[in-house]
Amino acid sequence: MHKRIVVAGGDGFCGWPAALYLSAQGHDVTIIDNLSRRRIDQRLGIQSLTPIASPDQRLSAWYEITGRRLHFEQVDLAEDFDGLRAALAEIRPDTLVHFGEQRAAPYSMKDAARKLYTVNNNIRATHNLLVALTDLALDTHLVHLGSMGVYGYSDAGIEIPEGYLNLSVQDEGSDRREIEILYPASPGSVYHMSKVMDQQMFQFYAKNDRLRITDLHQGIVWGTQTEETRLDERLINRFDYDGDYGTVLNRFLMQAASGLPLTVHGTGGQTRAFIHLQDTVFCIGLAVENPPTAGSRVKIINQMTETHRLRDLAALVASVTGARIALVDNPRKEAAENDLRVSNRTLLDLGLRPITLAEGVLGETVDIAQKYIHRALPEMVAALSTWTVEQRPGVVTADALARGRQILT
């Protein structure tokens, strides 16, 4: 059945390909976005490596190629509750996919102003959505992009479940009881902290107002294009490679294409969860088609397909591209080494067949990095945001290069 879907933050890295995918599936899609991601790039003096078109150009191209209409409304979720409420009152969406948040951990740690912006923007955006849906008494299914980072990486040693943990509790004054709790949060940045706070709001509104909510705890996304974005260059997706917004694989690929060493933070022993962008949009589709019923708990799904240590990723990229590796100081406050086991049963059961790094789909992104290298500002790749004032940014020195050699041997 075709749905009316709002994609909040539908101009961004995951939001744009998700909007196209849902439109291609036959849904009636409206993007709501304040274009903040483009403005942040301007302010940081950076741009997407790929030449992304304006929203109007994107929508025209999509119509020209597919005959499908995408709608766009420029509304600031965080700052304009009335505008958001009016848009939702008119559209009355069956589903609202919420990407509309500041999504970079390093950016959120850059300075006081960015810490404040991240919390103010993300909490207000999410809460405005929740209050608007409640106030309008809409039966909209809210699908939120959360993060694997809410769980943290140094805790119980058990496989991370999909959101909830079953416990058995008892004390001297009580009988033994089985309870279910939200898996304890341990965010590693102000950005991740804002996602933990989102979680708490979802728990409350699902319970008090019977809102139907799915929270997708997503791993680090790799890849740039999807079946839809590669149909035409005007539909191309953004490719971020700077120290704030570039995810680890993009930054490695850009460094390789620029003849720079791949910068690995600390020992590279950090294990993280990953997912390909094509799988991301497929999973969003699965989430949209499988809403929880009203009155049930928040449905939490781990949206990731594989885990890797960062040094192994660097070695993989180095072997494909011939790049060198530099072990730089870790600007983040995190465990140097961690294990990570994650349950992703829900999406596998719904039919996800993961695209893995080992399959070499890396190739497309390598090609993109090379094709648009003339647009690059290689000096922007270094991660300059530090987690505390005592820490040093992740930059390359001769010593860092020497230490990096050990990764490949």
User: Residue 278 in 3-state DSSP?
Assistant: helix
Mark 76-95 with x for binding to its own copies (rule: CB under 8 A) and - for no binding.
-----x---x----------
Q: How many residues contact its own copies, by CB under 8 A?
A: 53
Q: Which is nearer to its own copies, 167 or 402 (CB)?
A: 167
119 binds its own copies (CB under 8 A): yes
132 binds its own copies (CB under 8 A): yes
Give the Cα separation of 31 and 14 in Å (integer). Answer: 12
Give the Cα separation of 229 and 66 in Å (integer). Answer: 12
Choose one: 1-9, 43-51, 116-124, 322-330; the region binding its own copies (CB under 8 A): 116-124
Give the Cα separation of 37 and 335 in Å (integer). Answer: 30
User: Residue 49 in 3-state DSSP?
Assistant: coil
Q: Which is nearer to its own copies, 207 or 375 (CB)?
A: 207
- Contacting residues for 44 by C-beta, under 8 A, at least 6 apart: 242, 244, 380
Q: Which is nearer to its own copies, 155 or 232 (CB)?
A: 155
Which two tokens mark 366? Answer: 């390598």
What are residue 212's DSSP bridge partners?
Answer: 141
Task: Give the shortest CB-137-to-its own copies separation in angstroms.
Answer: 7
- Nearest CA to 365 out of 316, 295, 310 is that of 316
Which two tokens mark 397? Answer: 């020195």
Choose one: 97-105, 230-238, 373-381, 382-390; the region binding its own copies (CB under 8 A): 382-390
What are residue 214's DSSP bridge partners?
Answer: 143, 299
Mark 133-152 with x for binding to its own copies (rule: CB under 8 A) and - for no binding.
-xx-x---------------
- Contacting residues for 211 by C-beta, under 8 A, at least 6 apart: 130, 133, 134, 142, 202, 205, 294
Q: Which is nearer to its own copies, 209 or 367 (CB)?
A: 209
Question: Judged by CB under 8 A, which of 56, 175, 293, 409 binds its own copies?
Answer: 175
Q: Which is nearer to its own copies, 13 or 205 (CB)?
A: 205
Question: Judged by CB under 8 A, which of 139, 155, 306, 312 binds its own copies?
Answer: 155
25 binds its own copies (CB under 8 A): no
User: Residue 299 in 3-state DSSP?
Assistant: strand
Q: Which is nearer to its own copies, 124 or 230 (CB)?
A: 124
Dihedral sign for Cα 129, 134, 137, 140, please.
positive
CB atoms inside a 10 Å sphere around CB 113 = 8
Mark 43-82 with x for binding to its own copies (rule: CB under 8 A) and - for no binding.
--------------------------------------x-
336 binds its own copies (CB under 8 A): no
CB atoms inside a 10 Å sphere around CB 329 = 17
Q: Which is nearer to its own copies, 115 or 309 (CB)?
A: 115
Q: Which is nearer to its own copies, 179 or 398 (CB)?
A: 179
Any idea of the CA torsion for 47, 50, 54, 58, to the nearest 10 degrees? -160
> Which pairs count as long-range contacts for 107-112, CB under 8 Å and 24+ apart, including other chains?
107/40, 107/191, 107/244, 107/245, 107/385, 108/189, 108/190, 108/191, 108/194, 109/189, 109/190, 109/191, 109/332, 109/385, 109/386, 109/387, 110/244, 110/384, 110/385
Question: Judged by CB under 8 A, which of 181, 294, 348, 358 binds its own copies?
Answer: 181
Which two tokens mark 160? Answer: 């991370």
Give the Cα separation of 321 and 330 in Å (integer). Answer: 24
294 binds its own copies (CB under 8 A): no
230 binds its own copies (CB under 8 A): no
Task: Give the shortest CB-330-to-its own copies separation in angstroms.
Answer: 14
Choose one: 204-212, 224-232, 238-246, 372-380; the region binding its own copies (CB under 8 A): 204-212
115 binds its own copies (CB under 8 A): yes
Task: Give the shortest CB-79-to-its own copies separation in angstroms.
Answer: 11
Choose one: 13-21, 53-61, 163-171, 303-311; the region binding its own copies (CB under 8 A): 163-171
* CB of 325 closer than 8 Å to CB of 404: yes
Q: Which residues bind its own copies (CB under 8 A)?
A: 81, 85, 111-112, 115-116, 119-120, 123-124, 127-128, 131-132, 134-135, 137, 155-159, 165, 167, 169-171, 173-175, 177, 179, 181-182, 184-185, 187, 190, 193, 196-197, 200-201, 203-204, 207-209, 333, 341, 387-389
